[in-house]
Amino acid sequence: MLDGSLDTRAGRLNDRYRHHAATEVLRRAVSDPDLGRVALVSSFGAESVVLLHMVSVVAPGLPVLFIDTQMLFPETLDYQRQVAGKLGLTDVRVIRADETEVSRLDPDGTLHRFDQDACCNLRKTVPLEQALSGFDAWITGRKRFQNGLRAALEFFEPEEPSRLRVNPLAHWRPEDVQDYMIENNLPRHPLVARGYPSIGCAPCTSPVKPGEDPRAGRWRGSDKTECGIHFIGGRMVRRKVPA
């Protein structure tokens, strides 16, 4: 049984690994008793290959949860298969929304046009919550530089009511990500070269112009900045969005 509240355990882990490098945070996290059962959640997006490569080195059998919203770019689906094979990841679990729920709530695939939060909830938030029900912690690729909501990100953070989140790359800079990819000869997502530095679902992702924030192409023209897996209404929660 895990010892202490989420806040206590997160604080203890941050103190324990405060001065560790990302790879060591990940290496130790997958076996630290304060975390329990751990999975990596990956979008196989523009920068995902960094964390996936680290996992392939320290724990290739770690469960990797990939949410297929069934609205992803074909390039993302191809890239997911390519990277998983190249890195030798042995437990990649493709997560999809319940077909009955999709038929009921989004029968014609247009929900994203008039209620983006509800679409993310249906296709991402709820399926991930179900997939994570057997884990005590999950690993993300979030970084402080990505936007204001992530500026104070720590290695370990509580996620009510019962899980911790692990952010090994929290303190990395953009150049750290690029250097790691180059040094390890990692395959790039093909859409990056076409102006997509942040990649989500095809209907809600557009190319980014020079000088724009890297996430400017996500839900362009709306106030939405997170899919709901990490934030809803500015709060770090992951549950069904109220009507």
Judge whether 227 counts as a catalytic residue: yes
3-state secondary structure of 143: coil
Instruction: Indicate which residue of 111, 227, 229, 232 is catalytic.
Output: 227
The answer to whether 120 is a known ligand-binding residue is: yes
d(CA 150, CA 170): 9
Nearest CA among 128, 153, 130 for reference residue 143 = 153
The answer to whether 220 is a known ligand-binding residue is: no
Q: In this structure, is the dihedral angle defined by the CA atoms of residues 223, 127, 152 and 22, taken in order, positive or negative?
A: negative
Amino acid identity at 112? H
d(CA 167, CA 187): 22
Tell me 96's DSSP state: -
The answer to whether 45 is a known ligand-binding residue is: no
CA 48 from centroid of its chain's CA atoms? 8
Beta carbons within 8 Å of 139's beta carbon, 6+ residues apart: 26, 29, 38, 39, 40, 41, 51, 55, 165, 166, 167, 168
Task: Give the residue ranges of the annotated binding site.
Answer: 119-120, 201, 204
Active site (catalytic) residues? 227
The annotation places the binding site for [4Fe-4S] cluster at: 119-120, 201, 204
